[in-house]
């Protein structure tokens, strides 16, 4: 059973956020490829801002270079759009003014895209504690799915799609979108659920306790298989399933690292933090975003208003 062309990304709009960097160049290739494969409308956005600060000296007159920065941003955006259209995809440009995170989020609120694509450097195991990048800031606040691209030219199209499942609606939506993207790219799908056994007592488990743990694992395996069946109905292909005895982040990274980590798309759902929860870190989605070596898809679970209506 095939997924209808163009139905993978809903609504049928992709936003590419670009800053002209090497990472953004890869993101542009990915966004262009997805737009071409799915038939989605591609919007390209670049945010420019003034690069000076008033330091509180009233006797000094600061020159206004905003026109220069705006023209520079316009040239960067034009060059990106020209490169995309040279590959046969029409791109709609958006030159934004302001801090990149706020400008990108505001545009996404206006357009209500089915996917936002951005580039990002992977921090690696030593630098995971570093925060503050534009991509991470956007992910924490976005009200639409965000695909953060990394891993170099060989990372796209992905050969595998690994989706985390915890039984939540957000995880299901992330797996559905990632599975649809995987279908467009001919990738293998794997649905992963993590579980943690309680620590074993010093004297070992009693027979009845061990039996209860085995029953719990069997139930989780059946639940995971049911989620895989539901995903098959949504995207037309049933993924493989893996129940891993580990922390959720480690489980996902472990499965991703088994074969081609740079060519593995990791997908996770996350709950919207809201205005007062933006500084909260340490979630599975944040940890995966910081540690993964390949592209990461994060699907925020909360309602948003789009031109087509309210979307969960």
On whether residue 242 sits in a domain, the answer given is no
CA distances, 154 to each of 5, 14, 54, 170, 302 (Å): 25, 22, 44, 28, 33
Residue 175 lies in a domain: yes
- Residue 209 belongs to some domain of the structure: no
Summarised one tens digit per residue, pLDDT across range 143-191 is 999 999 998 889 999 999 999 998 888 899 999 999 999 999 999 999 9
Confirm if 40 and 114 have CB atoms less than 8 A apart.
yes
Q: Is the pLDDT of residue 298 over 90?
A: yes
The CATH number linked to 89 is 3.40.50.12370
In a domain, 158, yes or no: yes
H or E element at residue 44: strand 41-48
DSSP state letter for 258? T
The answer to whether residue 234 sits within a structural domain is: no
- Domain membership flag for residue 210: no
Instruction: Evaluate whether residue 127 is within a structural domain.
Output: yes
How do residues 84-141 score in pLDDT, each as one tens digit?
999 989 999 999 998 999 999 999 999 999 999 999 854 444 343 344 488 888 988 8
How many domains is the chain built from? 1
The pLDDT-based confidence of 276 (bands split at 50, 70, 90) is: very low
Enclosing H/E stretch for 15: strand 13-17
- 163 contacts 189 by C-beta, under 8 angstroms: yes
CA dist list (Å): 28 to 77, 119, 149, 193: 11, 8, 9, 32
Which pLDDT score, from 0 to 100, does residue 121 have?
A: 56
DSSP helix/strand/coil, 110: helix
Domain holding 18, by residue range, is 13-50+65-191+261-311
What whole-number distance in Å separates Cα of residue 41 and Cα of residue 86? 16
Domain assignment present for 227 = no
Alpha-carbon gap, residue 85 to 253, rounded angstroms? 36
Q: What is the pLDDT averaged over residues 20-34?
A: 91
For the CA atoms of 106, 107, 109, 114, the dihedral, rounded to the nearest 10 degrees, stands at -140
pLDDT at 265: 96
């Amino acid at each position: 059973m095939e997924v209808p062309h163009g139905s993978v990304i809903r609504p049928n709009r992709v936003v590419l956020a670009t800053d002209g960097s090497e990472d953004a160049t890869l993101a542009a290739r990915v966004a262009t490829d997805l737009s071409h494969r799915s038939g989605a409308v591609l919007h390209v956005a670049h945010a420019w801002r003034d690069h000076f600060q008033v330091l509180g000296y009233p006797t000094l007159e600061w020159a206004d270079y905003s026109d220069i920065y705006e023209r520079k941003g316009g040239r960067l955006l034009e060059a990106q759009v020209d490169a995309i259209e040279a590959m046969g995809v029409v791109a709609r440009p958006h030159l934004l003014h302001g801090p990149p995170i706020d400008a990108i989020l505001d545009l996404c609120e206006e357009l209500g895209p089915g996917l936002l694509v951005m580039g990002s450097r992977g921090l690696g195991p030593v630098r995971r504690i570093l925060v503050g990048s534009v991509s991470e800031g956007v992910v924490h606040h976005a009200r639409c799915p965000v695909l953060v691209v990394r891993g170099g030219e060989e990372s796209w199209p992905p050969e595998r799609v690994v989706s985390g499942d915890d039984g939540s609606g957000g995880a299901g939506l992330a797996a559905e979108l990632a599975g649809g993207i995987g279908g467009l790219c001919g990738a293998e799908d794997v649905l992963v659920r993590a579980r943690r056994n309680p620590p074993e007592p010093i004297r070992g488990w009693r027979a009845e306790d061990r039996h209860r743990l085995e029953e719990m694992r069997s139930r989780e395996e059946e639940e995971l298989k049911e989620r895989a069946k539901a995903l098959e109905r949504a995207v037309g292909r049933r993924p493989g399933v893996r129940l891993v005895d580990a922390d959720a982040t480690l489980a996902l990274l472990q499965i991703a690292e088994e074969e081609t980590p740079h060519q593995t798309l990791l997908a996770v759902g996350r709950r919207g933090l809201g205005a007062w929860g933006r500084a909260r870190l340490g979630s599975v989605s944040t940890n995966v975003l910081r540690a993964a070596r390949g592209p990461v898809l994060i699907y925020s679970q909360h309602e948003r208003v789009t031109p087509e209506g309210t979307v969960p």
